Structure formats: structure tokens, C-alpha cells
Amino acid sequence: MDTLKRYLLPGFVFQSVVIAGGYGTGRELAEFFLSRGPLGGLLAMALSTLIWSAVSMASYEFARVFKAYDYRVFFQRLLGRGWVLYEICYLAMIMIVLAVIAAAAGEILRETFGLPYLVGVVGIMGLVGWLVVGGNDLIERAFAGWSGVLYLVYIVFFVWCLTRFGADIQASLASGTVEGSWIQGGVAYAGYN
């Protein structure tokens, strides 16, 4: 478990934070990637991945150099006295993100299963509350488990798409269509998250 915590868990947590309500509903895919065409979308995704990798590596190195291994110390060292203002803004953003995720859960359950909208909203908020009360260990296990499920779904979906639409995918990529600025899409998505 120490190896998992040291090498894989930071990536699992990062992935779980990035792939939240907007990405899960497909809205962020449409906004930043799919609107760039097949090739442009893939290039924008690759650029976002490179940016996130660089930021993650710099963050881990910053934490190591300044021995800032917990959240508060990290941001105090990074932002100085400005960390308090950052926390206020971050708290406001978290409320917005939770509202978006809860609204998406309500809509998905309503449209998919015909359940009342509030079932999804209250359910996701209850799940978030349960995770918070459960503490760091529960959150770490949940993120790691969720990442495993997500990778499994990605692999199955990837294989299914290749077997079902392989020729169409190859033709779309061969056309080399890039609509709009894939660089702008990749940088905007990386910066937005």
C-alpha cells in the first residue's frame, strides 16, 4: 500500500479531481476538444496532458523542496499571506463545482431512470458528506477505486470503438481536419482545471 500511496495515489487523486461533473457529462469534451475536429481534439488533449504533467511535476518538486507535505503548508509557502484570499476564492469555487455535479447527477438520474431530480442532487451531496466524514483514508480509497473503474471503462470503450468504428476513425484522422485553434483549446482546458 505504501508504493500505491507514494507513486500512484497522487495521480489517481488528480485524475478524480479533473474528471468531475463537466467532463463526466461530456460538456467539457464538446467545449474544448470536439469542437476542434478529430485531429485537433486529440492534439488539444495531448497538449493539456503535457501542461498538467509539467504543473504536477513542479508542484511535487515544490512540496519536496519546501517540505510542504500538507495542503495548508503547501499554499502558505506558495502564496505567502495571500493564501487566505486564495482559500476564500477556492471555497466559493468548490461550492459552484458541487452545485454543478449535484445538478448533473439530478439530471442524469431523471433522464436515464425517471427518478425525481432531487434524488440525484441529495444522493450526490450525501455521498460527498459521507466521504468528508470518512476522512483522508476513505477519500484516498474512493479515488483509487474510482480511477480503477474509470480505466476499465476507458479500455472497454476504446476497444469497442476501435472494433466498431475503426475504419471511420482512421478516415477522420487521415483527413487531418483541425477546426479552430487546438492550442487554444488545450491551454484553456488545462488552465481551467
Residue 4 lies in a domain: no
pLDDT tens for residues 28-37? 888 889 889 8
Residues 6+ apart with CB under 8 A from 47: 182, 183, 186, 187, 190
Instruction: Report if residue 1 sits inside a domain.
Output: no
CB–CB of 49/193 below 8 Å?
no
The more confidently predicted of residues 184 and 28 is 184
Q: What share of the chain is helix, strand, coil (3-state, %, to 5)?
A: 90, 0, 10
Reference 61, options 46, 76, 47, 78; nearest CA is: 78
Q: Is residue 8 part of a domain?
A: no
Residue 13 is assigned to a structural domain of this protein? no
Q: In which domain, by residue range, is 128 found?
A: 18-192
Into how many domains does the chain fold? 1
- Could you tell me the pTM of the whole model? 0.75
| Assigned domain for 3 exists | no
How far apart CA 34 and CA 131 sit, in angstroms, is 33
Cell of 73: 503548508
At 42-63, the pLDDT tens digits run 999 999 999 999 999 999 999 9
Percent of the chain with pLDDT over 70: 96
